[in-house]
Amino acid sequence: MYPNPIFAREQTTLLNDGWEFSFDNVTWQPINVPFCPQSKLSGIDYTDFIPVCYYKKKFNLDDVSGRKVLHFGAVDYRASVYVNGKYVGGHVGGYTPFEFDISQVVKAGENEIFLVVNDDEKGRSLSGKQSLKRRSYGCFYTRITGIWQSVWLEDTPEKYVCEFYFYPDPTNSLLKVDLTVSARGNYRVEVLFEGKEVGKKQGKIDYRKTIRLPLSEKHLWEEGKGNLYDVKIIFEDDVVLSYFGLRTVEYKDRDFFLNGKKTYQAFALDQGYNIDGLYTAPNVAFMEQDLRLGVELGFNGIRLHQKAFDPQFLYLCDRAGYMVWGEYASWGIDYSNLDYYGQFIQEWQQVMKRDFNHPSIILWCPLNEAWGQPEDPRKIRDVRIVDEIYHFTKKFDATRPCIDVSGGHHGHKTDVYDFHCYEDITEVEKHLALFSEQDKLDVPLLYCKYDKLRYKKGAPVHFSECGGISFGFAGADRETETVNEGAVQFEDAWGYGKGEVDGDVFVSRYCALIELISKHLKISGFCYTQLYDIEQEQNGLYYYDRSDKLTQDQKEKIRKCNEKIRKAYQADGYEV
C-alpha cells in the first residue's frame, strides 16, 4: 500500500529503514521509523520530555535524472531537513505532511538525510491529547516527538501533477476534477470501476483546468459499501493514481442525508493510540482490526479524535463505506489569544488539502472543546478565532458540513450544534426532554456566557460525546480481579462513569443510554466514548490492546442496540 493511497505514484521508494536517532547529535542509536522515540516499537522507548532530537539516514541513488521529492507524512513538531549537508527546508506542525524537491542536492551513489526536530513548544503548539506533564494524566496521554508517519522518495518528470480535487455528482453521474499541474501540456483522466473503464477525458491544460467527466456507470458510496472508482491522472509523462467515492452529504432541516437518504450517525470515539506504537499503528492489519471492532458492535462510523489520522486508515474507511469526522489536534494553544489563529489555519488547511478527496469524511470538525485555558480560568476563549476558522473551512470546502467547535463553546455560526454530556442518565434525560419539548438546548459548557450565544431553534443537533462508562479496570480499582494480560495497569485508572466489573451491568447501562437517545429523533446521531481504553482512561469497549472486555453475547446486545436506533431514525419512530 502506498503511504498516501489517494495520491500515489508508482515511482515511490519508502525510506523507513536504516535511520539513526540521537538526543544530543553526538551519541547515535538505531530507531525504527516511522515509530516515535517514546514508543516501544521505535526501539528507543523513552517517555520523558524530548525538547530536541536528531535523525539521520543514508540512501543510495543510481539515477539522479528527473525530479526527486522527499516526503514526510508527519513529524512532531518543528522540523529542519538537510540533504548532503545542505538545508532543503523546514516545517511547523506535528500532524501534517510536507515535501521538498531535493533534485539539486542529491548525487549518484550514497546520500544522507539529516533531520533536526524541536518539540519544546509547550503552550504554543497544536498537540492534541499529548501530556504536558511527565506522566500521563486525566485524558492526556504519552507524548509524541519526531517522525511518526512514513518517509518516502518520489520520482517525477519535470512536468508534473501538483494537486487535484474531486467533486462527485451522483445525480448527473458525473465527476468534476479541479486539476493543477506545473506547466502547460496535455492531460488525460481515466476512471475505472472494478477494472472496467467508465469514463475518460483528455485535452490540453494551461496550469489549471476544471474537467467535467461523465460516468457510464453509477455506483454509490454508501454505508458498508465503498464502491470506489479508480482514477489515473496523466499529465505529459507523469502518472498519478487515485480514487473517489460517488456520494453527497448534507443536513436538511435537522437530519443528516447521505446520497439523499436520511442516515443516522451511530459512532464510536477513536483517538488513534495503541500500546506499542502510540500514534503509529504496528501495521495495516492492525488498522483493519480497529475498523472491524467498530463494525462488529454495530457502529456505522467513527469520530477520529484530536489528531490527523494516517491516510492509510482513511483509505480503509473509504473502502469499507465507514463514515468519519475529519478533525484536528486542536488542543495545545491559547484560544484567548488571536495571535494563534494564523498558526491553526496554516496546519488545518494542510489537513483539509491532504484529506479533501476521502469520501469517508462526511464533515469537518476543526476544534474540540475550545473553552479557554484549563490551567488558567482567567483566559477566556476569543470567539473571533472560532468564527474565522468556521468561515475559512467553509470557503475551502463548501461540499461538507462543518461543526465549528465540538462540545462548545460554539461561536456565531455552525452547521451542526453538537454537545458532550457525561452526566448521570437521569440528568441526560432532563437535557434531552427539554430539547424535544421546547427545542431548547441547555447543556453545560455548550456556550460561553460572555458571548451571549445560544442554540438556534430548528438547527441540526448531534450528541457527539456520551457514555464514557468505566468497567473492566486494569488498575487499582480492579485489585481483586484477574487482570487481562494485555491491558495496561495504571493506579489512577478512571472513566467518566462509575466503574463496573460486571459486563452485564455495563451492557444494561449502555443500552439504557442509547435507547434514551433514540426516543429523541431531533438528534441526528451519537458518538460513544470510546472504542478502546487508552492508558489510564479505561472507559473503552475494548482493552487498550484491543482484546475483548465483553463476551460475544454482550457484544451482540450492543450491536443490536446500535442497529435498532439507526433503523428507527430512518423510519421516524422507535419502539422500546
Reduced to 3 states (helix: H, G, I; strand: E, B; else coil), residue 390 is helix
Question: How far is residue 131 from each of residues 126, 141, 333, 561, measured CA to CA in Å?
Answer: 12, 5, 13, 35
pLDDT tens-digit readout, 436-459: 999 999 998 888 888 888 899 999
pLDDT at res. 472: 81
If one counts every other C-beta atom within 10 angstroms of the C-beta of residue 529, the result is 25
Length of the chain: 576
pLDDT tens-digit readout, 1-23: 899 999 999 999 999 999 999 99
CATH topology of domain 12-155: Jelly Rolls (2.60.120)
Q: What is the mean pLDDT of residues 372-391?
A: 84
Above 60 in pLDDT, residue 125?
A: yes
pLDDT at res. 221: 98
Q: Which pLDDT band, with edges at 50, 70 and 90, does 475 fall under? A: very low
pLDDT tens-digit readout, 55-67: 999 999 999 999 9
pLDDT tens-digit readout, 334-375: 888 888 899 999 999 999 999 999 999 999 999 999 887 666
Phi and psi dihedrals of 409, rounded to 5?
-75, 130
For the chain, give every residue range classified as CATH 2.60.40.10. Answer: 161-249
Above 50 in pLDDT, residue 478?
A: no
Reduced to 3 states (helix: H, G, I; strand: E, B; else coil), residue 402 is strand
C-alpha cell at 74: 508527519
pLDDT tens-digit readout, 529-562: 999 999 999 999 999 999 999 999 999 999 999 9
Above 50 in pLDDT, residue 480?
A: no
For the chain, give every residue range classified as CATH 2.60.120.260. Answer: 12-155
Is 24 or 444 the better-scoring residue by pLDDT? 24
Q: Which pLDDT band, with edges at 50, 70 and 90, does 499 fall under? A: low
DSSP structure class, residue 476: G
pLDDT at res. 544: 96
By the 8 A CB rule, do 80 and 74 touch?
A: no
Q: How many helices (H) and strands (E) does the chain have?
A: 7, 33
Q: Which pLDDT band, with edges at 50, 70 and 90, does 485 fall under? A: very low
Q: Which pLDDT band, with edges at 50, 70 and 90, does 122 fall under? A: confident
Architecture of domain 261-547: Alpha-Beta Barrel (3.20)
If one counts every other C-beta atom within 10 angstroms of the C-beta of residue 438, the result is 10
pLDDT at res. 467: 95
The edge-to-edge listing of strands for the beta sheet with 98-101 is: 12-14, 151-156, 67-72, 98-101
Q: What is the mean pLDDT of residues 135-149?
A: 95
Q: What is the mean pLDDT of residues 253-257?
A: 94
Beta-bridge mates of residue 200: 190
Q: How far out from the chain centre does Cα 266 lie?
A: 17
Instruction: DSSP for 135-174, please give it.
Output: S-BTTBB----EE-S-EEEEEE-SS-EEEEEEEEETTTTE
pLDDT at res. 136: 93
Q: For the chain, give the percent of residues with pLDDT over 70.
A: 95
Q: Which pLDDT band, with edges at 50, 70 and 90, does 492 fall under? A: confident
By the 8 A CB rule, do 525 and 325 touch?
A: no
Beta-bridge mates of residue 421: 466
For the chain, give every residue range classified as CATH 3.20.20.80. Answer: 261-547
d(CA 432, CA 487): 35
pLDDT tens-digit readout, 403-441: 999 998 999 999 999 999 999 999 999 999 999 999 999
Dihedral sign, CA of 392, 395, 396, 397? positive
Above 70 in pLDDT, residue 508?
A: yes
Residue pointed to by grid coordinates 482514477: 231
By the 8 A CB rule, do 165 and 180 touch?
A: no
d(CA 421, CA 428): 7
Beta-bridge mates of residue 222: 225
Please provide the average confidence, as pLDDT, over all residues in the chain. Answer: 93
Cα dihedral 474, 479, 480, 486, rounded to 10, equals 20
Is 10 or 571 the better-scoring residue by pLDDT? 10
Residue pointed to by grid coordinates 494480560: 485
Q: Which residues contact 101 (CB under 8 A, 6 or more apart)?
A: 67, 68, 69, 88
pLDDT at res. 300: 97
pLDDT at res. 380: 81
Dihedral sign, CA of 249, 540, 331, 384? positive
Above 70 in pLDDT, residue 378?
A: yes
CATH topology of domain 161-249: Immunoglobulin-like (2.60.40)
